[in-house]
Chain A
Amino acid sequence: MTTTSIVTARRGPFMRRGGARWTGWLFLAPFMIVFLLVLVAPVVYSIYLSLFREQLIGGTSFVGLENYALALGDPKFWDSLGRVVIFLLVQVPIMLVIALAASLAIDSARLHLSSFFRIAIFLPYAVPAVVATLMWGFMYGTRFGLFGNITDAFGLDLPAPLSSNWVLASIGNIVTWEFVGYNMLIFYAALRVIPTDLYEAASLDGAGAFRTVWSIKIPAIRGAIVIAAIFSVIGSFQLFNEPNILKTLAPNAISTYFTPNMYAYNLSFSGQQFNYSAAIAIIMGLITVVIAYVVQLSGSRKVGRA
């Protein structure tokens, strides 16, 4: 025993010096390896790709930042970006308000069968986006779909959901349907951890249900709201599955550059323009980071004020 401890003691300082340098990294290694492989490497490779131009005739040449200049002057790119920004400004608030209302209703304990409502609202999230979109695409049919049946039954003359002017709203409807439950669950989880003595104190002070919601519950879950908003912002910028699947039903209403992701995808896989596509992807990544960061900043500033 003694011998061992002496040996350890003697070796100790040396070990500690080396350990300080490497032990931390060792613990980080499993994460770092995966992080480097699946996150950093593709981004670096995309940046590398975006500096070249490969042609079907003439091969590959180094073009520096030319692809980026091209993208910034590309009306199709701005068109697609503008579309997802409109989508973001309209769809995300609607979705989050519905999710918030649903979570507050379930949390209020005034609903019968609240666990049934919870699972019912959450269920669409469990439906794969591809299936959900195919299903909605069928319902949107003006002649034989549910939409057609309803307009026929009531003699209404509504614009077709998949026409050029309405297709973005129709996609917003699908996305809202898909993700209200998910956001509701985030809010509901946050609501459950609010200490109940706050409610007791509020009711002693004479606060009604709505006052409690406004002054206690919503401020308390602001962090969750910011998180949900950031996820939704990123989701909007990455809009792809829904329009890409609906394109088969509405080929003229949804262009190949309907959203930035669709544009990048079509450049790559229909046009073999991998380099330009990589430049578009990097630009979109940067824009998403900036906007998500702005949302986060404005969210935390409000927390500070409160």
Chain B
Amino acid sequence: MRKHSIIRWTGVAMAAALATSLAACAPSGSAEDVTGATADEIAAALQEESSITVWGWAPQLEPIVEAFEEKYPKIDVKLENVGTGNDHYTKLQNAIKAGTGAPDVAQVEYYALPQFALSGAFADLTGFGAGELEDQFTPSTWGSVSLNDGIYALPQDSGPMAMFYREDVFTNLGLEIPTTWDEYIAAGKAIHAANPDAYITNDVGDAGFTTSMIWQAGGNPYVVDGTTDVTVDFADEGSTKWADTWNQLVQEDLVAPISSWSDEWYQGLTDGSIATLVIGAWMPGNLESGVPDAAGTWRVAPMPTYEEGVAAAAENGGGGDAVLEQSENKLVAYGFLEFLNGEEGAAIHAANGGFPSTVADLESDEFLNYESDYFGGQKINEVLVQAAKDVVPGWSYLPFQTYANSIYGDTVGQAYASKSDLNEGLAAWQEATVKYGVEQGFTVNGE
């Protein structure tokens, strides 16, 4: 969903972004300092005439905003889509640097959150009572938004990883559905041997995928201590475990050299030449809309693990919404956030194809028993909800993760391209990441 559009429209925003770059470098001013409010004060603010601006690209935002305006007719919510993913963060970063022009509320993916939170661009929501909401959300999503004893966003959706697979491909070849990575590799060999144009999955290297896979393997390459101390270590056990496993797939040409979200990718998903996708739980909606001709052939299973019978999953994508420190209407902004990410918003979000982060929705019978026609009547949410519970705890992203992800292709991607050791690619990524961190004034271990 997200990457698909990022990819297409990156180019379009270039000229505009270049043009605004100069304006973006003025020193930042300070908005009115509101660090907290009681529930009553927030409720009162919502009954007064005012307006807030919201930046986001999630398709579910529009119906949620409509419902909010209906409930609070005096509040005018200006919903603006300034781009998807990186384009959005670029504009946000520019507005933050400029000191004016930022929205009151912004959508933010979990991986990008630390960058904005630790630099003080997002308001700590603790003072507004966000701490009381902890029980509403899954531990993994709550862990993603709480940093340094602060709460910098409320979770909206989540992307626990699972394995989506083509049932027809596996049945035709008489293959078992892999439950471990060793079985997965064996299945990859069988699929490719049966048809040289068919692959178990596609992968040309993707930062989000790699970090999620290392997460599942129990790796912890990024350790952030306070706001300025960072450790980068891609030689830890989990990272090496993943790289050694994935080396076998890449070096033996068992993964299709096709970028995700490309036209070839959609065709591969349609004709079965890409047999599985290990990806976030937000994928079903994308399959239904992007690969309609393959209806009935896809199923979902827990992602393969390293140890037989020990369930482990990771988050892949997903995000929440934050209040900007620059906002001059923080009470209303937070009120909106509670609606958007709370019960009412979450219900609308789920009804519009989102994968929720709220415990109540994840555990509701209606959600769990939903039988997807696209998946041949499978109760897909049972699998996906279990994945959410199996997410390995303790992961964190860097306070400059968007930059680190941007140079992935220059480093790990080169190992993919030359089919050399991914461990070396990870080492190169580490080196470039550390260099940047040091240049930016962080104390970085990992040289």
Contact = CB atoms under 8 A, between A and B. Distances in A.
B12 interface: yes
Interface in B84-113: 86, 90, 93
A116 B206 CA distance: 46
B409 A247 contact: yes
A84 to B, nearest CB: 17
Contacts of A240: 14
B194 interface: no
B47 interface: no
A149 interface: no
Nearest to A241: B11
A134 B261 CA distance: 13
Contacts of A45: 22
Interface string A133-152: 11000100101110000000
Interface stretch (B54-62, B174-182, B307-315, B412-420): B412-420
Contact of B205 (A251, A255, A256, A269): A251
Interface string B383-419: 0000000000000000110110011111001101100
The secondary structure that dominates the B interface is: helix
Contacts of A255: 409-410
Residues of A in contact with B, size category: 35 or more
Interface residues of B, number: 49
B337 to A, nearest CB: 26
A253 interface: yes
The secondary structure that dominates the A interface is: loop
Nearest to B91: A269
Interface in B111-164: 119
B228 interface: yes
A248 B10 contact: yes
B14 A248 contact: no
A164 B18 CA distance: 27
A116 B323 CA distance: 58
Interface in B201-240: 204-206, 227-228
B187 to A, nearest CB: 21
Contact of B264 (A49, A141, A248, A271): A141
Interface string B49-91: 0000000000000000000000000000000000000100010
B68 to A, nearest CB: 32
A251 B21 contact: no
B265 to A, nearest CB: 10
A248 B402 contact: no
Contact of B400 (A56, A138, A247, A257): A56
B39 interface: no
Contacts of A274: 21, 24-25
Nearest to A273: B439
A248 B403 contact: no
A42 B93 CA distance: 20
B441 A245 contact: no
B90 A269 contact: yes
A266 interface: yes
A55 B438 CA distance: 9
Interface string B419-436: 000000000000000001
B93 A272 contact: yes
B28 to A, nearest CB: 11
Interface in B9-30: 10-12, 14, 17-18, 21-22, 24-25
18 contacts: A42-B22, A55-B441, A56-B399, A56-B440, A57-B440, A58-B441, A133-B11, A138-B263, A143-B273, A240-B14, A244-B10, A245-B11, A251-B259, A252-B409, A257-B410, A269-B93, A270-B403, A274-B24
Interface of A: 42, 45-46, 49, 55-58, 129-130, 133-134, 138, 141, 143-145, 164, 240-241, 244-245, 247-257, 265-266, 268-274
Given A42-B22, A133-B11, A274-B21, 5 more contacts: A248-B10, A265-B18, A266-B406, A270-B403, A272-B93
